[in-house]
Amino acid sequence: MKFTVERDLLADAVAWAARSLPVRPSVPVLAGLLIEAGDIDGTEGLRLSTFDYETSARAVLNAHVSGEGRALVSGRLLADICRSLPNKPVEFTIEGAKVSLTCGSARFSLQTLPVDDYPSLPAMPTASGTVDADLFAHAVAQAVTAAGRDDMLPVLTGVRIEIDGSSIALLATDRFRLAHRELTWNPMTPDVTAAALVPAKVLADTAKSLASGSQISIALSAGGSGEGIIGFEGQAGGGVRRTTTRLLDGEFPKVRSLFPAEHVTVARVDKAALVESVKRVALVAERNTAVQLAFADGSLTLDAGSGDEAQATELIEASITGADITTGFNPQYLLDGITALESPVVELAFTQASKPVVLSGADSIDGDADSDFRYLLMPRRLLS
Amino acid sequence: MRAEPTILHLDLDAFYAAVEQRDKPSLRGRPVVVGGVGGRGVVATASYEARAYGVRSAMSTREARARCPHAAYLSGRFDAYRAASALVMEQLRRLSPLVEPLSLDEAFVDLAAGDALAGTADVATVTAVAERLKADVHEVTEGLTASVGIGSSKLIAKIASDLRKPDGLVVVAPGTERDLLRPMPITTIPGVGPATAERLRRLGVHTVADAERMAVDELVALLGRAHGEGLYRLVRADDDRPVVAEREAKSISVEDTFDSDVVEQRMVDALVERQATKVVGRLRAAGLAGRTVTVKVRLHDFSTLSRSTTLPAPTDDVRTVVALARTLVHEVDTAGGVRLLGVGISGLADWIQEDLFGALGATGDPGTGSADPAVDAPADGDPAAAPTTEDAADIEAFTVARPWPPGADVHHVDHGDGWVWGAGLGRVTVRFETRRTGPGPVRTFASDDPGLSRGHRAEGGASDPPPASG
């Protein structure tokens, strides 16, 4: 194996593929990054692959290949090296059990891992449709805000993707809040319906890393039984990037019915003012306090802290329709929801103080509501 | 550091043992050891008579018995200690509203925040205030003595209180702090434990004066930034830490020490689950919820480990706490046997984060709706992890306190108030005396004697709570 490659192309592709390397690999070869040089999908170049039996990543890039071949090297070490190389062409050659890497005056010799022990990566399923890369990245970032991080409830660490014709719904919940994002895409078959539960962290990383391209193609394996996988293909750093990940097992709870059908109070507040204000009042009580929100007389009063500790209060302008209401929230959950909104104005819709609030965006205080993203948040319950 | 000696540190002398000697006249002037009396017990406090034989706090009771076999070994009456402590703290609060209790028997007082000094903080005035305090403590507690140190900082006050124990009083005049510290071993400085002392010793640093000669950079390189800079200042008696008034309970916890090591994982799980359930019960009784769950494990070799995890929001849900506590205890390798287990909750709050699915009941609940905490084992848990009923009796054997712990207050219908002198083989021996009677007679009963009950009946006697393993 022998090839020469542009430093920036290589560094970007290696960094991308190395993202999904396992921190503590169950077998040593999984810490490896597979380099294949030769005719890749009909073009002379390289394919870099990583796999941890859950998630696979493949990056394709152009290179001048003078000898075909493949080698497995420590992915983390290669990523560290590539990041710090000078901006000069990088030359790779395999010499016995070592890979030699030369860039300008720098020279590295890397131990190879047994390439024959490396598992074969799952095949990319057939594409189901395409979506605008930037739109998808934003939508996923919004949805994963509410995803669970508790490994004891694995189902809730996923984002449910529901496909119905040209619309995609993303749903995530950690039991305390629920995020729901709707977006449109271009399915291969117009009447397609499908659903998948994708690990939230992988989905978020993937969507973000492919945001710079124009389109992402989504591929869902048709097989309804067990080993479902989902694949994403996009462009980044001048080459094709493909990721597959195993779908989560288990039944995602029926969550759409949690959104209340009617609202008693609807308030609109400037988003930036609300974020600043929640952050300020939440400072007082060592993160163990809830923030109380009282909507009355055209204003929102925020309170935090209790009698024995520091207290904070702040009043901001609000446009209120319906009855006065006072309730309270975990400040972090509230901030997560507000900051996930992309509109300049936040709409908070309540039924009762003890029932969840629906956060959504609006383009102005009396303008149109934006219902593409909704964040449902359960309030705090006072114990005494 | 202040210009005037206005920080007072009070330390009750051999506190638990002193309370025992006060309430048990026959033990006055004799060695008394309070602590765990079982096979795994550790000394909490030794009376000065027992210290003469080399018995020290934190020593295993087994070793203490070897050094001083004729001491009275008592298991402790925390209600009595709490009552005595409350009387002392009340005296301190009469001096100043700014009192910072460190434990039941120790507190800082900021005299400058009160009016006890009437504006003059010279050595003579503060000495007079301290003399009166010591006399008042002795009177309200019916005989306990305290050692008091006063200085221009917490550091100096605390060191001073230790200089002339017991019943001591040392006021360090402003300006003499560094002269006082210089000849002292470096371990006198708070925060210099065995590990730090060893690192310093390798550089030839034994006393405060030795450390004073080290540059701040050297100390930082040796001990890290926070610790190094802190030590640099403390050896110069430079200490601005304020006295912080007592805050409400910051955590609720349950701990059990076992007479024999618990080896089986299943039993460890069952015990942790039981403790977590008990902690949540206390949490709820106090109308609180908590964010941080901590599990404490002392292994067979006495090494003590803590593992904790913090939730994004407070909870008072027993299933959540049990599941977290179990996961945490699994992070510790307990295969060699466990002598102590504890579960605690901190980050206390007066609210909980409600569950979106709670309103729906079991439908739509993603696998958390079971009422039985045992069913909510970690997803990868094996079925054997759930305790079975046959384990229940074993758990009892590990955790039920002795019904007649030595030293406990008891009452007999015919003989009146006394304390457990010893128990075993179906018998319990009681000495009938109280703090006001003088030494009394010893009698033995069957341990199920219906006339015998825990606690005192007479006025003024401290009473014990029912047996509890907490």
Mutate to test the interface with A, among B315, B354, B368 (most CBs of A within 10 A): B354
Decide: B42 and B60 in contact? Cβ < 8 Å: yes
Choose among B247, B350, B365: nearest Cβ to A383: B350
- Residues in chain A with CB shorter than 8 Å from the CB of B380 are none
- Classify residue B358 by its DSSP letter: G
Decide: B216 and B232 in contact? Cβ < 8 Å: yes
The domain boundary, picked from B364, B390, B416, lies at B390
Greatest alpha-carbon span in chain B: 74
Residue B50 placed within a domain:
no
Residue A358 DSSP SS3:
strand
Residue B385 placed within a domain:
yes
- How far apart CA B89 and CA B94 sit, in angstroms, is 9
pLDDT at B253 over 70: yes
**Residues B162-220: pLDDT tens digits?**
999 899 999 999 999 999 999 999 999 988 888 888 989 988 999 999 999 999 998 99
Q: CB B356 to CB A254 under 8 A?
A: no
User: Whole-structure pTM over 0.80, yes or no?
Assistant: no
Residue type, B171: V
The domain boundary, picked from B346, B367, B390, lies at B390
Write the CA distances from B105 to A13, A167, B78, B87, integer angstroms. Answer: 64, 68, 12, 11
- How far apart CA A372 and CA A360 sit, in angstroms, is 8
Among candidate residues A331, A361, A329, A364, the one with its CA nearest the CA of residue A346 = A361
CA distance A120 to chain B (A): 27
Burial (0-12, 13-18, 19+ Cβ within 10 Å), A309: middle
Mutate to test the interface with A, among B353, B355, B365 (most CBs of A within 10 A): B353
pLDDT of residue A308: 62
- Classify residue A84 by its DSSP letter: T
Same domain for B209 and B310, yes or no, is: no
Q: CB B351 to CB A290 under 8 A?
A: yes
CA distance B217 to chain A (A): 32
Decide: A129 and A188 in contact? Cβ < 8 Å: yes
Q: CB A333 to CB B287 under 8 A?
A: no
Higher pLDDT, B410 or B313: B410
CA distance A29 to chain B (A): 25
Q: CB B356 to CB A153 under 8 A?
A: no
pLDDT of residue A293: 95
- How far apart CA B381 and CA B144 sit, in angstroms, is 53
Mutate to test the interface with B, among A327, A330, A355, A359 (most CBs of B within 10 A): A330
B→A interface, C-beta within 8 Å: 247-248, 287-289, 291, 312-314, 316, 323, 327, 347-357, 359-360, 364-368, 378-379
Same domain for B313 and B356, yes or no, is: yes
pLDDT of residue B107: 94
Listed range (B31-40, B105-114, B209-218) with the worst mean pLDDT: B31-40
Choose among A253, A286, A354: nearest Cβ to B366: A253
Same domain for B204 and B260, yes or no, is: no
pLDDT of residue B462: 43
Listed range (A98-112, B261-275, B293-307) with the worst mean pLDDT: B293-307
Same domain for B268 and B327, yes or no, is: yes
Higher pLDDT, B376 or B34: B34
Mean pLDDT of B39-53: 87
- How far apart CA A143 and CA B100 sit, in angstroms, is 47
pLDDT at B378 over 60: no
Strand partners, B428: B423, B445
pLDDT of residue B90: 93
User: CB distance from A158 to chain B under 8 Å?
Assistant: no
Euclidean distance between the first and the last CA atom of chain A, given in angstroms as a whole number = 71
Choose among A176, A250, A286: nearest Cβ to B356: A176
pLDDT at B373 over 50: no
- How far apart CA B13 and CA B84 sit, in angstroms, is 13
pLDDT of residue B365: 39
- Residues in chain A with CB shorter than 8 Å from the CB of B378 are 152
Q: CB A333 to CB B350 under 8 A?
A: no
- Residues in chain A with CB shorter than 8 Å from the CB of B349 are 288-290
Same domain for B223 and B316, yes or no, is: no
Choose among B248, B347, B378: nearest Cβ to A288: B347
Residue B84 placed within a domain:
no
- Residues in chain B with CB shorter than 8 Å from the CB of A332 are 312-313
The token pair at A77 is 């070490």
Choose among B348, B349, B354: nearest Cβ to A379: B354
Q: Where are the extended beta strands (E) located within B197-303? A: 251-262, 289-299
Same domain for B298 and B255, yes or no, is: yes
Residue B320 placed within a domain:
yes
CA distance A147 to chain B (A): 13
Decide: A187 and A217 in contact? Cβ < 8 Å: no
Same domain for B380 and B268, yes or no, is: yes
User: CB distance from A288 to chain B under 8 Å?
Assistant: yes
Contacts across the A-B interface (CB distance below 8 Å)? 92
Q: CB A176 to CB B354 under 8 A?
A: yes
Same domain for B222 and B346, yes or no, is: no
**Structural domain boundaries, residue B201:** 190-234
Decide: B410 and B418 in contact? Cβ < 8 Å: yes
- Who contacts A85 (Cβ-Cβ below 8 Å, separation ≥6)? A7, A11, A103, A104, A106
CA distance A224 to chain B (A): 21
Residue type, B213: R
pLDDT at B389 over 70: no
- Residues in chain B with CB shorter than 8 Å from the CB of A359 are none
Higher pLDDT, B317 or A285: B317
Residue B129 placed within a domain:
no
Residue B437 placed within a domain:
no
If one counts every other C-beta atom within 10 angstroms of the C-beta of residue A236, the result is 18
Choose among A175, A252, A308: nearest Cβ to B356: A175
Beta strands at A129-132 and A158-164: parallel, antiparallel or unpaired: unpaired
Q: CB A333 to CB B323 under 8 A?
A: no
Taking each continuous run of H as one helix and of E as one strand, the counts in chain A are 6, 28
Q: Sign (positive/negative) of CA torsion B99, B102, B103, B107? A: negative
B264 is catalytic: no
- Residues in chain B with CB shorter than 8 Å from the CB of A155 are 366-367
CA distance B435 to chain A (A): 39
Same domain for B291 and B199, yes or no, is: no
> Strands of B72-74's sheet, edge to edge?
B43-46, B32-35, B72-74
Confidence of residue B145 (pLDDT cuts 50, 70, 90): very high
Same domain for B210 and B269, yes or no, is: no
- How far apart CA A166 and CA A192 sit, in angstroms, is 8
Burial B142-155 (b: 16+ CB within 10 A, else e): eebbbbbbbbbbbb
Q: CB A258 to CB B360 under 8 A?
A: yes
CATH number at residue B343: 3.30.1490.100
- Residues in chain B with CB shorter than 8 Å from the CB of A311 are none
Residue B129 DSSP SS3:
helix
What tens-digit pLDDT sequence spans chain A (384 residues)?
999 999 999 999 999 999 989 888 888 999 999 999 999 888 899 999 999 999 999 999 999 999 999 999 999 999 999 999 999 999 999 988 899 999 999 999 999 999 999 999 998 888 899 999 999 999 999 999 999 988 878 999 999 999 999 999 999 999 999 999 999 999 999 999 999 999 999 999 999 999 999 999 999 886 554 468 999 999 988 789 999 999 998 889 999 999 998 999 999 999 999 999 999 998 885 657 789 999 999 999 999 876 666 788 999 999 999 999 999 999 999 999 999 999 999 999 999 999 999 999 999 988 888 889 999 999 999 887
The domain boundary, picked from B390, B421, B454, lies at B390
Decide: B293 and B275 in contact? Cβ < 8 Å: no
Choose among A152, A176, A177: nearest Cβ to B378: A152
**Residues A55-102: pLDDT tens digits?**
999 999 999 999 999 999 999 999 999 999 999 999 999 988 899 999
> ipTM of this complex > 0.90?
no
Burial (0-12, 13-18, 19+ Cβ within 10 Å), A76: middle
Of all residues in chain B, the one with the smallest CA distance to A178 is B356
Mutate to test the interface with B, among A288, A306, A333, A359 (most CBs of B within 10 A): A288
CA distance A160 to chain B (A): 14
Higher pLDDT, B359 or B457: B457
Strand partners, A241: A59, A234
- How far apart CA B263 and CA B457 sit, in angstroms, is 42
User: CB distance from A23 to chain B under 8 Å?
Assistant: no
Choose among A156, A257, A355: nearest Cβ to B366: A156
The token pair at A210 is 């492919």
CATH number at residue B216: 1.10.150.20
Beta strands at B169-171 and B146-151: parallel, antiparallel or unpaired: parallel
- How far apart CA B414 and CA B345 sit, in angstroms, is 44
Choose among A152, A258, A286: nearest Cβ to B379: A152
Total domain count, chain B: 2
Of all residues in chain A, the one with the smallest CA distance to B323 is A152
* Catalytic annotation, pick one of B20, B49, B100, B106: B106
pLDDT of residue B470: 36
Residue B111 placed within a domain:
no
Of all residues in chain B, the one with the smallest CA distance to A259 is B356
Residue B122 DSSP SS3:
coil
CA distance B348 to chain A (A): 7
Residue B315 placed within a domain:
yes
Confidence of residue B385 (pLDDT cuts 50, 70, 90): very low
Same domain for B310 and B353, yes or no, is: yes
Same domain for B263 and B382, yes or no, is: yes
